[in-house]
Structure 1
């Protein structure tokens, strides 16, 4: 009979051996029969108590009443009795947990024996039965989780040992194969030691990228060859360790800022910013000026860990109207990126016009005609735009006037006839 994974085979031999004793002196001759038989049962281990093993009465051809009247009982040589005889039904059931590995280890055949003894009223020993246990089970003992830390710089072909599953079963019921959940980065390779122990390792076949996938979760499943097939699984958590494979990147190629030329020391200009996809020290960025001339160093400074640029010296629009400052962002591994800051210095009206008399005619005759040039004047204001625009006036408008000639040049001319006596 087969049911589920239970295999129940019965081989029965019955020998009826007649033994005769003669009682003399008008005594009654009595016939005593000894029934000899051997039955083999195959059942799984780890069955629950009360699980049906076999019908002893039926298999031996005994009457159930005979078992009851004979107060049939089981006798074994072990301290633990794994089966129990139900004399009211003539059946054999499991009475204790049966562990094939505990009883038999790696040896075969895997069996134990017992005897059934009847009494009624003279002791009658019903011969030996051999009770064979064909254990069919599959148990795997393995860590609940395997944690691996792998650098993203690991080269394809790198190997990572996963160890082996533990299966106390033997033969076909023992560990047969390991399966790794599908993954683009790793493949599974299995090995067998000379003593038969199987173990597995993961082999990297595709480069890792922590920035794209910082963690990878896998499942390793160990399966045996039993029927039904049993399996055990373990989670594999792979943490990808960072390698300095990314350079800093500025979020702008050019930064633009303006500052008043009369800005005080410490005045904020702008903040440059770069990012690095690496983690830890590989992602730490420091900022500095690059290709810097002395003029820049005299007026600006940058905070190396924040990228803040501020004023440290005196600005003068009239001397330098614009600063083109190179900045660099560098990580701890030496990888860098560059950008620049264009800083416009805004003019302040901090300069007065300057008048220079370029030529002057002296003296002037009283008969000089109207329009005679008396002087040529140059007026400059080094401020820019409106702050540098000037107008010229004279305080003696009856006889003279000022006229604009070229840019920043003016002429003073006569505007009426002179009479020295008046």
Structure 2
């Protein structure tokens, strides 16, 4: 059996020479047999798989050389064309003569790659010869798309809203912001920071640069600020960043007792003061809100004094009955203000009301009649006896003088 590839390899022509000797009559002939090629070999690639690592966003037209398939046949039975299966929009194949006049095979990038869309792709590169029927050979092409920093971080929310009790202790977690980056490696590594740097000594918040968790550096105060707006920036390893807002709503707790602020107070008070006279005017306030800031006032003893609302949060302390200094010279009144929190907080304001004297008591003798004895023939200025009268009033109102 004749094998042209074994006898002549890749030679364009293959001649098999021999000599023919005829014995009768004696003749000598030189014979050459030309072996013609048939398509009995398929194209074969040097490797079964070839891998290319291509940076995403590479320019269209970029070429990637591939080692050509070898076919032991010659002429039209050699490799005539290359194709890609399955066809795709990113690559085509070029087979032609290069500047060195050599036949070369190149993959041509037709469209920029996007790693976030396809991290890898694979297809078959097929070499086909010109025989009849044609033969083909295949190698697998694996494309690994290398990342470039073409994606900025994206937060899961544009605005985060949370509520925090104002008495939450230092170190309490507020919330966690989350951003994702479609890039890989350092291009996808995200760090978090407040967009506007906050002083550690002033700000009640701190953020973990790696996890995005926001915590308290000190308790919040609803009365100082009912809400805090933070701006958080997420930055990837390539310098691209995104910003989100964090709105922290401070929830009021009942941590402020009511305050009683006295505007005016009259003491001492004449004992003949008419009922309904205003003794004190005061206002009550609570820095808390809602039920925690709703205040009610009460007076312990309401026999002679009472409270009545004036306007808004003002109250008046007024007399409700006639006073008598001789019965009670001083009243100690305790006004209690309580809020509606749970548990409620209270505060007490004490009013000491002194009653001033009015001349409403006549002198009273200690006896209704006196019997005295004196000797006759007494000398002038002799002591006969003494009378005594008392007055319940004080001061000049209680000073007694006598006459006959």
- Identify the TM-score tier after normalising by the shorter chain: 0.7 to 0.9
1:223 to 116, 128, 141: 128
Contact in 2 for aligned 1:189/1:202 (Cα 8 Å): yes
| Residue number among 205, 214, 236 corresponding to 1:309 in the alignment | 214
State the alpha-carbon separation in 1 of the partners of residues 78 and 10 from structure 2. Answer: 11
For the residue of structure 1 that corresponds to 2:282, the secondary structure is strand
Residue deviations 1:201-221 (CA, integer Å, cap 9, x gap)? 122121111111122212211
Alignment pair present for 1:371 and 2:269: no
Question: Which among 80, 85, 95 is matched to residue 176 of structure 1?
Answer: 80
Q: 2 CA distance for matches of 1:335 and 1:107?
A: 61
Q: 1:297 to 1:199 in 2, by over 3 A?
A: farther
Any idea what SS the aligned residue of 1:282 has? helix
1:168-247 counterparts in 2 under 5 A?
A: 168-181=72-85, 182-193=87-98, 197-247=102-152
The residue correspondences of 1:15-414 to structure 2 (distance < 5 A) are: 94=1, 98-112=2-16, 132-136=34-38, 137-142=40-45, 143-181=47-85, 182-193=87-98, 197-294=102-199, 298-414=203-319
Q: Distance in 2 between matches of 1:194 and 1:387?
A: 88
1:382–1:173 CA distance, 2 compared to 1 (3 A): same
Q: Return closer, same or farther for 1:288/1:188 CA change in 2, 3 Å cut-off.
A: same
- Displacement of 1:103 after TM fit? 1.0
Unaligned runs of 5+ in 2: 328-404
* Deviation readout 1:48-73 (Å, 9 max, x if unpaired): xxxxxxxxxxxxxxxxxxxxxxxxxx
Please give the alpha-carbon distance, in whole angstroms, between the structure 2 residues aligned to 1:196 and 1:325. Answer: 66
Are the structure 2 counterparts of residues 405 and 393 from structure 1 closer, same or farther at C-alpha, using a change threshold of 3 Å?
Answer: same
> How large is the Cα RMSD of the aligned pairs?
2.8
Deviations 1:102-160 (A, max 9, x none): 311333542435689999xx9x9998876553231233221211110111120112111
SS in 1 for 2:192: strand
User: How far apart, CA to CA, are the structure 2 residues paired with 1:160 and 1:403?
Assistant: 95
Report which stretch shifted further, 347-356 or 147-156: 347-356
- Mapped to 2, the partners of 1:260 and 1:385 lie a distance apart of 14
Deviation at 1:382, TM superposition (A): 1.6
**Number of residue pairs aligned between Structure 1 and Structure 2:** 323
Distance 1:247 1:132, change over 3 A: same
Corresponding position of 1:48: none
Please report the TM-score for the alignment, with normalisation by the length of structure 2. 0.73
Q: 1:385 to 1:294 in 2, by over 3 A?
A: farther
- Contact 2:278–2:317 (CA<8 Å) still a contact in 1? yes
Q: Alpha carbons of 1:318 and 1:180: their partners in 2 closer, same or farther (altered >3 Å)? A: same
Rounded to whole Å, the distance in 1 between the matches of 2:59 and 2:11 is: 45
